[in-house]
Amino acid sequence: MDQEVLHQAQTRMENLTKPPRSLGHLEEVAVRLAALQGRVKPELGRGAVVVAAADHGVVAEGVSAYPQEVTRQMVLNFLRGGAAINQFARVADAAVYVLDVGVKGELPDHPGLLKRKVRPGTGNLAREAAMTLEEAQRALEAGREAARKAISEGATLLAAGDMGIGNTTAAAALTAALLGLSPEEVVGPGTGVGEAGLLRKREAVARALGRLRPGMGPLEVAAEVGGLELVAIAGVYLEGYRAGLPLVLDGFPVTAGALLAWRLEPGVRDHLFAGHLSREPGHRHALQALGLRPLLDLDLALGEGTGAVLAMPLLRAAARILHMATFEEAGVSRGG
Ligand SMILES: Cc1cc2ncn([C@H]3O[C@H](COP(=O)(O)O)[C@@H](O)[C@H]3O)c2cc1C
Ligand SMILES: O=C(O)c1cccnc1
């Protein structure tokens, strides 16, 4: 964050040919982008989304409306271009990178797939640690590596996406653990479990939280109650932060990963933009804790990075605000 440029961009914003504040929240976004890039007229080019995929042992508790094999099947769908994220990424001029950090079963070699399986799915977080600390470190590094690849191939805006049947339960546990919230505040329907499913999810999260001990570090907490793709997502954002890029959040699982990144490296927060507000109830709490206002509120509850990628054109538009003419430059009369 360049404070000098931040002030210059704020001043320019006040002098642009529009009534003050008439571009609303986009004005704050524009000024933040300027400060991140260290130039009063920010420019955003191509985007990238790293879709991190992994399985979850907690599906044994009956916490998802879909069978576990959907994770692997959807990864194949991503590689063929048939998923929502592929379609939205085309519209948003974003490249899609798929990262396997823990999908059950074999996946083919493919130029769009980074194969970094740490283990074939987590342990069942309702009954045991999701992974070891060493596995969490490997998942974090895999996310960092995927982000480095995206950045070296031209990403100027970086997002993460998630794929993992059962991951709204892991995201709920991780969010509750990191923010000190109750299972009731963070558990939601995910892919659409009914009332009984919701109770099972809350119970699974409560059991996971019961194993946490005071003094555990953020990565230890994530190893105990999180998910491999959630930890990898933290790695994506940590690496994007290191590279100085604007970072776009997606829905609940992705934001849980971002909360972990924030706890590991508080400076990350300055680079984050909330793409959208998910229908999943815990998402609101997570964004509130981060102090972020979502750009879109469309009742999305999909993940994959869809809400993040949809917000990329809006971020580009916000950057263009600072390329408008000032009253002086355009010879337009000011108000009273
Ligand atoms: C076909 C399909 C495509 C998806 N794409 C993302 N998700 C999303 O739903 C899952 C989380 O919800 P839960 O915790 O209820 O299992 C994750 O895989 C998430 O990425 C999908 C889910 C399905 C079924
Ligand atoms: O908030 C999300 O991104 C989400 C919601 C439901 C299922 N998968 C993801």
pLDDT at 193 over 90: yes
Find out whether the beta carbon of 156 lies less than 6 Å from any atom of ligand 1.
Answer: no
Find out whether the beta carbon of 250 lies less than 6 Å from any atom of ligand 1.
Answer: no
Domain annotation covers residue 241 = yes
pLDDT of residue 82: 98
SS3 50: strand
pLDDT of residue 134: 98
Shortest-distance atom of ligand 2 to CA 167: 8
Find out whether the beta carbon of 168 lies less than 6 Å from any atom of ligand 2.
Answer: yes
Find out whether the beta carbon of 250 lies less than 6 Å from any atom of ligand 2.
Answer: yes
DSSP track, 69-105: THHHHHHHHHHHT-SHHHHHHHHTTEEEEEEEEE-SS
CATH number at residue 51: 3.40.50.10210
Find out whether the beta carbon of 303 lies less than 6 Å from any atom of ligand 1.
Answer: yes
Helix axes 282-290, 167-179, angle to 10 degrees: 40
Find out whether the beta carbon of 305 lies less than 6 Å from any atom of ligand 1.
Answer: no
pLDDT of residue 71: 99
Ligand 2, residues 278, 283, 287: which to mutate, most atoms within 8 A of Cβ? 278
Cβ contacts of 109 within 8 Å, gap of 6 or more: 115
Angle at the Cα of 158 from the Cα atoms of 306 and 284, rounded to 5 degrees = 55
Distance CA 273, CA 258 (A): 11
> Are 294 and 274 in contact, with CB atoms under 8 Å apart?
yes
For range 7-34, the mean pLDDT:
98
Find out whether the beta carbon of 302 lies less than 6 Å from any atom of ligand 1.
Answer: yes
pLDDT of residue 1: 85
SS3 196: helix
pLDDT of residue 288: 98
Ligand 1, residues 87, 101, 167: which to mutate, most atoms within 8 A of Cβ? 167
Find out whether the beta carbon of 190 lies less than 6 Å from any atom of ligand 2.
Answer: yes
DSSP track, 107-160: ----TTEEE--SSSS---TTTS-SS-HHHHHHHHHHHHHHHHHHHHTT-SEEEE
pLDDT of residue 284: 98
pLDDT of residue 198: 98
> Mapped to the 3 state alphabet, what secondary structure does 167-184 carry?
HHHHHHHHHHHHHCCCHH
Provide the percentage of residues in the chain whose pLDDT is more than 90.
Answer: 99
Shortest-distance atom of ligand 1 to CA 167: 14
Confirm whether 328 is a catalytic residue: no
Domain annotation covers residue 235 = yes
Domain annotation covers residue 14 = no
Nearest protein CA to atom 5 of ligand 2, as residue: 301
Nearest protein CA to atom 20 of ligand 1, as residue: 163
Residue 12 backbone dihedrals phi, psi, to 5 degrees: -60, -40
Q: Is the dihedral of CA 9, 14, 15, 20 positive or negative?
A: positive
Distance CA 161, CA 312 (A): 14
- Ligand closest to Cα of 258 equals 2
Shortest-distance atom of ligand 1 to CA 59: 16
Find out whether the beta carbon of 188 lies less than 6 Å from any atom of ligand 2.
Answer: no
CA of 190 to the centre of ligand 1 (A): 7
pTM of the model: 0.98
For range 289-301, the mean pLDDT:
98
Domain annotation covers residue 39 = no
Token readout for 285 is 């709490």
CA of 136 to the centre of ligand 2 (A): 22
Instruction: Write out the residue range of the structural domain in which residue 139 sits.
Output: 47-315
DSSP track, 263-288: HH-GGGGGGEEE-B--SSTHHHHHHH
pLDDT of residue 336: 81
For range 280-301, the mean pLDDT:
98
Query: Is 334 buried (19+), middle (13-18) or exposed (0-12) by CB count in 10 A?
Result: exposed
At 219, the pLDDT band (50, 70, 90 cuts) reads: very high
Domain annotation covers residue 171 = yes
> Domains in the chain: how many in total?
1
Averaged pLDDT of the chain: 98
pLDDT at 184 over 90: yes
pLDDT at 118 over 90: yes
Q: What is the Cβ-side half-sphere exposure of residue 150, based on CA atoms within 13 angstroms?
A: 36
CA of 66 to the centre of ligand 1 (A): 8
pLDDT at 127 over 90: yes
Shortest-distance atom of ligand 1 to CA 161: 20
Shortest-distance atom of ligand 2 to CA 303: 3
Token readout for 114 is 């980074």
Find out whether the beta carbon of 282 lies less than 6 Å from any atom of ligand 1.
Answer: no
Token readout for 314 is 């809006």
Token readout for 97 is 């990178």
For range 178-204, the mean pLDDT:
98
Tell me the per-residue pLDDT of 134-169, one tens digit each, with 9 for 90 and over: 999 999 999 999 999 999 999 999 999 999 999 999
> Are 238 and 146 in contact, with CB atoms under 8 Å apart?
no
For range 108-125, the mean pLDDT:
98
pLDDT of residue 64: 98
For range 271-277, the mean pLDDT:
98
Shortest CA distance to 279 belongs to which of 250, 258, 259? Answer: 250
> Are 295 and 25 in contact, with CB atoms under 8 Å apart?
yes
pLDDT of residue 212: 98
pLDDT at 57 over 90: yes
Ligand 2, residues 88, 167, 296, 302: which to mutate, most atoms within 8 A of Cβ? 302
